[in-house]
C-alpha cells in the first residue's frame, strides 16, 4: 500500500478546514480547537464563560429536545424524560447495564444480549442517538462561536472502551454530522495536552520513551491508565478504575453527613434533592477554602475542610487501590512512572491531590485546567491530523473502513478507517437458520451503513458447517492487513474447525478522488443510513422472535393456557403488522409486548423441564 497523503487519510476535502477536539464526557462534554493566532489549544466558551456542556438531555411532550445547561434543571423536575450519563450505555447490552444500578429513566429490557435502548414517551433511543444529540449541541455551539461550519472532529473515549463502544462513539459523531477522523483515548489526549509524546517534551536519549500515569476522577467515573510513549506512539500498558465512583459520591457523602447532623422536618427525599446541589457547592468551595457555611430553610449547614476530608477518605482510598492494580498489571513499580497527569473536575479536591502525590512520590502535572485537559489534547491530535504539526510520524493507515455484510444487508465494520497497518481484527458470528450448513462471507469497503452503497471487495462461502440449531455455530471471522496492505479474510467455525480464507487488495483501483467521494457520501447520507440500520436491526430481531415463538408454541402447546395462546397470537399479529409497516418504533414496541407476554410461560415451562430432569437424575436411598 502506498503511503497515503495526510489530507486523504483525514478525508479532508478542503484545505484549512477546522478540525475540532471533543471530550464527550459522562458528566460534562466540551470542544476545543487550536487558536489560529496563538497556535495553542483553547476550549470554546459561550458568553457565560463556561466551556463545559453538561451531558444531559431533556425531551418534552411535544418532542422538543434540550441539551446541556438548559436540560440540567429537569433532572430534578422531570427525571423520567431527562437522560444523563448516556455514555455509560454506549455499546452495552442489557446484561451489561443491569449491574450498573438504578437510572431514573426507562431502559428497555427485552433480551439480555441485545444492545440497550432507552424509552422516552413512545420513542426508543439508542445510546448512539443520545450521544449524537450532545455532539450536535456541541457542534452548534462551536459553529456559533467560531462563525464557521464544523464538520470534522477527533473524539475521545476512555482507554477501557472496547471496539463496540468506540464504534458507537464514531456512529454518534456521524449522526451528528461530524466526520470523526479519529477516536483517541482520554489519557492519551491528556498527555498530549501536557506536551508529552510530541517532539518538544520527550525524554532525551531514552529508547524506552516515557511512562505516564493518568489519574482521571470525573463526576461518576474514575480511571487510572498507565501509558508508554515512544517515538510518537502511545501505548496503553494498563487501565483500571471504577465506573461507579466519582465526585457525585463526594456530594452524597456530604448530604448524608448533613442529614445526620440536623433534624430536618418534612419530606426526606425533598431535602436530599435540595441538599445535593448545596453539597456540590460546598465541595467546590472547599477546594479553595477552609470552611463552608450556608443557611437552608432556617437550618445552618456547615462543613469544615477536615470533616470533608474525613468523609471522602474512603472513596479516595479506593482510587489509590486501583492505582496499585494498574501498576501491577503494567508490570511496573511506582519508581518507573516518569509523569503523573491529573484529569477531571474532581482532581481539584486538595485531599485527592495530596494522596496521589504521596502515593507516586512525585510532583503532579495539574497546571492545565482539569475539566478541559482532555478536549485540549484532542484539539492537538486534530491539528496533527490536519498536517499542521511537523516532525510527527506519518503512519500507513486504511483510508476506508473494511467490513462484512450481516443480516438485512447491513455493513458490519471490523477495521474502521484510519486504522494503522499492519493490523488485525476478528469477531464471532453465528447462523440465522437451523441446520444452516453454509455462510456467505461478503467483504466490503466504505463508510455507508448498507453494503449495497459500499464497494464489494470479495465474497466466498464457508461451507460444511455441521448441522446445528440457529445461533449455535461459532464462526470467527478475522481481517488481517499485512505491512504490504494485503487484506486476508479468514473464516473458521470454531466447534468443527472448518476454515476458509481469501486475499484481496483493498486499495486496488481506487483513486484519491473516489475515496473522497465515498467519504462525502457517507456524511451526506448519515441520517438516512442510521435510520435504515436501526429499522433493519429492529426487523431482524422481530423476525427472529416471531420464528422462535412459533417454534416454542408448537413444541409446548399443551403446557400453555388458552388465554396465553390468544394473547400471544394477538401480539404476533400486531408485530407482523408493524413489520409490514416498516415503522421502527412500532416494531420495537410490539417486540417488547410479545416478549412480555411470552416470558412468563416460557420461564414456567423451562422451570418445569429443569425440575423434571432433576427428578430423573435423583439417586434413591441405598
Ligand atoms: P466527566 O469526565 O465524568 O464528564 P468532569 O471531569 O467534568 O466529569 O468532572 C465533573 C465532576 O467534577 C463533578 O462531580 C463536579 O462536582 C466536580 N468538580 C468540578 N469542579 C470542582 C471543584 N472546584 N472542586 C471539586 N470538585 C469539582
Ligand atoms: Mg472526563
Q: Going by CA atoms, what residue is nearest to atom 18 of ligand 1?
A: 345
pLDDT at res. 614: 64
Is 357 near ligand 1, meaning CB less than 6 Å away? no
Cell representation of residue 354: 495530596
Find out whether the beta carbon of 283 lies less than 6 Å from any atom of ligand 1: yes
- Note the pLDDT tens digit of each residue in 20-45: 999 999 999 999 999 888 889 999 99
pLDDT reading at 3 higher than 80: no
Q: Is 23 designated active site?
A: yes
Q: How far is the CA of 582 from the centre of ligand 2 (A)?
A: 39
- Cα-to-centroid distance, 23 and ligand 2 (Å): 7
User: Of the residues 24, 25, 26, 27, which should be mutated to test ligand 1's pocket, given the most ligand atoms within 8 Å of the CB?
Assistant: 27
Q: Is-catalytic flag, 249?
A: no
Whether 174 maps to a domain, the answer reads yes
Q: Does any domain span residue 91?
A: yes
Instruction: Report DSSP state, residue 113.
Output: T
pLDDT value of residue 14: 42
The reply to whether 510 falls in a domain is yes
Q: Is 370 helix (H, G, I), strand (E, B) or coil?
A: coil
CB 21 within 8 A of CB 31: yes
The residues, ordered by sequence, that sit 6+ positions from 312 with a Cβ below 8 Å of its Cβ are 249, 250, 253, 349, 351
**Whether the predicted pLDDT of 268 surpasses 60:** yes
* Residues 139, 288 within the same domain: no
**Ion ligand 2, residues whose Cβ is below 5 A away:** 25, 218
Burial class from Cβ neighbours inside 10 Å (0-12, 13-18, 19+) for residue 562 reads: exposed
Instruction: Taking residues 285-290, report their average pLDDT.
Output: 95
Instruction: Tell whether 58 and 136 lie within a shared domain.
Output: yes
Asked whether 27 lines ligand 1 (CB < 6 A), one says yes
Domain count, the chain: 5
pLDDT at 340 over 90: yes
Residues 227, 333: one domain? yes
User: What CATH number corresponds to the domain at position 280?
Assistant: 3.90.640.10
What's the rounded Cα separation, in Å, for the pair 218 and 85? Answer: 12
Q: State the average pLDDT for the chain.
A: 86
Q: Does pLDDT of 232 surpass 50?
A: yes
Highest mean pLDDT among 24-28, 229-233, 528-532: 24-28
Most confident of 206-215, 256-265, 485-494: 256-265
- Strand pairing report for 439-445 and 455-462: antiparallel
Residue 231 to residue 592: CA distance in whole angstroms: 52
CB-based contacts of 200, cutoff 8 Å, min separation 6: none
| Rounded distance from Cα 495 to ligand 1 centre (Å) | 49
Q: Tell me: do 481 and 539 sit in the same domain.
A: no
Q: Which atom of ligand 1 is nearest to the CA of 55?
A: 4
The answer, yes or no, to whether any atom of ligand 1 lies below 6 A from the CB of 281, is no
Is the Cβ atom of 10 under 6 angstroms away from ligand 1? no
pLDDT-derived band at 97, boundaries 50, 70, 90: confident
Pocket test for ligand 1, best of 23, 216, 246, 247 (most atoms within 8 A of CB): 247
Residue 507 has pLDDT above 70, yes or no: no
For residue 115, the 8-state DSSP code is B
User: Are the beta carbons of 384 and 397 closer than 8 angstroms?
Assistant: no
Residue 509 lies in a domain: yes
CATH classification at residue 222: 3.30.420.40
Give the helix ranges, DSSP H, for 331-459. Answer: 350-360, 373-385
Domain around 466: 402-516
For residue 172, being part of any structural domain is answered with yes
| CA–CA distances in Å: residue 254 to residues 257, 265, 297, 301 | 5, 19, 17, 10
- Indicate whether 329 and 267 sit together in one domain: no
Calpha distance 244→551 (Å, rounded): 41
Shared-domain flag, residues 380 and 510: no
Q: How far is residue 134's CA from residue 27's CA, in Å, rounded to a whole number?
A: 11
**DSSP codes joined into one string, 432-478:** SSTT---EEEEEEESS-SBGGGSEEEEEEEE--PPP--TT---EEEE
Question: Could you count the other beta carbons within 10 Å of the beta carbon of residue 205?
Answer: 5
End position of a domain, from candidates 491, 516, 541? 516
* Residue 191 CB–ligand 1 contact under 6 Å: no
Residue 361 shares a structural domain with residue 379: no
Lowest mean pLDDT among 271-275, 351-355, 441-445, 618-622: 618-622
Looking at 354, 385, 416, which one is the last position of a domain? Answer: 385
Any ligand 1 atom below 6 A from CB of 54: no
Question: Partners of 504 in the beta sheet?
Answer: 487
> What mean pLDDT do residues 425-434 have?
88
Rounded to the nearest angstrom, the distance between the alpha carbon of 33 and the centre of ligand 2 is 17
d(CA 258, CA 318): 23
| 313 Cβ neighbours under 8 A, 6+ residues apart | 351
What is the average pLDDT across 249-275? 93
- Annotated active-site residue 96? The verdict is no
- Same domain membership, residue 155 and residue 88: yes
CA–centroid distance, 313 to ligand 2, in Å, is 21
How far from each other are the two terminal CA atoms of the chain, in whole angstroms? 74
Structural domain contains residue 393: no
User: Of the bound ligands, which one is closest to the alpha carbon of residue 50?
Assistant: 1
Please state the atom number of ligand 1 nearest to the C-alpha of residue 371.
6
Q: Is 85 in the pocket of ligand 1 (CB under 6 A)?
A: no
- Residue 186 appears among annotated catalytic residues: yes
Tell me, in angstroms, the distance from the centre of ligand 2 to residue 159's CA.
11
Q: 107 and 153, same structural domain?
A: yes
Tell me if 394 is assigned to some domain.
Answer: no
Contacts with 162 (C-beta within 8 Å, 6 or more apart), sequence order = 91
In the chain, pLDDT over 90 holds for what percent of residues?
54
470 and 347, same structural domain? no
Choose among 77, 84, 121: nearest CA to 100. Answer: 84
Of 114, 155, 83, the residue nearest 592 (C-alpha): 114
Instruction: Write down the pLDDT at residue 6.
Output: 34
Q: Is residue 180 within a helix (H) or strand (E), and if so which, with residue range?
A: strand 179-185
What is the C-alpha separation between 494 and 472, in angstroms, rounded? 11
Q: In angstroms, rounded to a whole number, what is the distance separating the alpha carbons of residues 395 and 5?
A: 10
End residue of a domain, out of 495, 516, 537: 516
Assigned domain for 204 exists: no
Whether 276 and 163 map to the same domain: the answer is no
Residues 438 and 567 both lie in one domain:
no
Angle between helices 186-193 and 373-385 (to 10 degrees): 80
DSSP conformation letters of 574-593: HHHHHHHHT-HHHHHHHHHH
- Residue 452: which CATH number? 2.60.34.10
Amino acid at each position: 500500500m502506498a503511503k497515503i497523503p495526510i489530507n486523504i487519510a483525514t478525508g479532508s476535502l478542503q484545505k484549512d478546514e477546522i478540525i475540532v477536539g471533543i471530550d464527550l464526557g459522562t458528566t460534562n462534554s466540551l470542544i476545543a480547537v487550536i487558536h489560529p493566532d496563538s497556535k495553542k489549544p483553547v476550549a470554546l466558551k459561550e458568553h457565560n464563560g463556561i466551556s463545559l456542556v453538561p451531558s444531559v438531555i431533556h425531551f418534552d411532550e411535544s418532542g422538543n429536545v434540550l441539551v446541556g445547561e438548559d436540560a440540567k434543571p429537569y433532572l430534578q423536575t422531570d427525571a423520567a424524560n431527562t437522560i444523563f450519563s448516556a455514555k455509560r450505555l454506549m455499546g452495552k447490552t442489557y446484561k451489561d447495564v443491569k449491574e450498573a444500578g438504578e437510572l431514573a429513566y426507562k431502559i428497555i429490557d427485552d433480551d439480555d444480549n441485545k444492545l440497550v435502548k432507552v424509552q422516552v414517551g413512545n420513542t426508543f433511543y439508542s445510546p448512539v442517538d443520545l450521544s449524537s444529540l450532545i455532539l450536535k449541541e456541541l457542534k452548534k455551539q462551536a459553529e456559533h462561536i467560531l462563525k464557521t461550519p464544523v464538520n470534522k472532529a477527533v473524539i475521545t473515549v476512555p482507554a477501557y472502551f472496547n471496539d463496540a463502544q468506540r464504534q458507537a462513539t464514531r456512529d454518534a459523531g456521524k449522526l451528528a454530522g461530524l466526520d470523526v477522523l479519529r477516536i483517541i483515548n482520554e489519557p492519551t489526549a491528556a498527555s498530549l495536552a501536557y506536551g508529552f509524546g510530541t517532539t518538544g517534551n520527550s525524554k532525551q536519549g531514552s529508547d524506552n520513551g516515557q511512562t505516564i500515569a493518568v489519574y482521571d476522577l470525573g463526576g461518576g467515573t474514575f480511571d487510572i491508565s498507565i501509558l508508554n510513549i515512544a517515538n510518537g506512539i502511545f501505548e496503553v500498558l494498563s487501565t483500571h478504575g471504577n465506573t461507579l465512583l466519582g465526585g457525585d459520591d463526594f456530594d452524597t457523602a456530604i448530604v448524608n453527613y448533613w442529614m445526620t447532623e440536623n433534624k430536618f422536618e418534612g419530606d426526606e427525599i425533598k431535602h436530599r434533592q435540595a441538599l445535593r446541589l448545596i453539597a456540590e457547592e460546598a465541595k467546590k468551595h472547599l477546594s479553595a477554602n477552609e470552611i463552608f457555611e450556608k443557611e437552608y430553610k432556617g437550618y445552618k449547614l456547615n462543613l469544615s475542610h477536615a470533616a470533608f476530608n474525613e468523609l471522602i477518605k474512603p472513596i479516595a482510598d479506593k482510587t489509590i487501590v486501583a492505582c496499585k492494580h494498574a501498576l501491577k498489571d503494567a508490570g511496573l513499580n511506582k519508581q518507573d512512572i516518569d509523569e503523573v497527569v491529573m484529569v477531571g473536575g474532581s482532581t481539584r479536591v486538595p485531599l485527592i491531590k495530596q494522596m496521589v502525590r504521596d502515593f507516586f512520590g512525585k510532583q503532579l502535572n495539574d497546571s492545565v485546567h482539569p475539566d478541559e485537559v482532555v478536549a485540549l489534547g484532542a484539539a492537538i491530535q486534530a491539528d496533527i491530523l490536519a498536517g499542521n504539526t511537523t516532525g510527527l510520524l506519518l503512519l500507513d493507515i486504511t483510508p476506508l473502513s473494511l467490513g462484512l455484510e450481516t443480516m438485512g444487508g447491513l455493513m458490519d465494520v471490523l477495521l474502521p478507517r484510519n486504522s494503522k497497518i499492519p493490523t488485525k481484527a476478528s469477531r464471532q458470528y453465528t447462523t440465522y437458520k437451523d441446520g444452516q450448513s453454509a455462510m456467505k462471507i461478503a467483504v466490503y469497503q466504505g463508510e455507508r451503513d448498507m453494503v449495497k452503497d459500499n464497494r464489494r471487495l470479495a465474497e466466498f462461502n464457508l461451507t460444511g458447517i455441521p448441522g446445528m440449531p440457529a445461533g449455535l455455530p461459532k464462526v470467527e471471522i478475522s481481517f488481517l492487513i499485512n505491512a504490504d496492505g494485503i487484506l486476508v479474510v479468514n473464516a473458521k467455525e470454531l466447534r468443527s474447525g472448518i476454515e476458509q480464507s481469501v486475499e484481496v487488495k483493498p486499495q486496488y483501483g481506487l483513486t484519491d478522488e473516489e475515496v473522497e467521494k465515498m467519504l462525502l457520501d457517507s456524511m451526506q447520507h448519515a441520517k438516512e443510513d442510521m435510520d435504515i440500520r436501526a429499522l433493519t436491526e429492529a426487523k431482524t430481531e422481530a423476525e427472529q422472535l416471531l420464528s422462535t415463538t412459533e417454534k416454542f408454541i408448537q413444541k409446548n402447546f399443551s403446557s400453555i393456557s388458552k388465554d396465553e395462546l390468544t394473547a400471544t397470537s394477538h401480539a404476533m399479529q400486531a408485530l407482523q403488522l408493524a413489520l409490514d409497516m416498516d415503522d421502527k418504533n412500532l416494531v420495537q414496541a410490539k417486540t417488547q409486548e410479545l416478549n412480555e407476554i411470552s416470558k412468563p410461560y416460557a420461564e414456567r415451562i423451562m422451570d418445569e423441564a429443569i425440575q423434571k430432569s432433576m427428578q430423573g437424575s435423583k439417586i434413591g436411598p441405598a
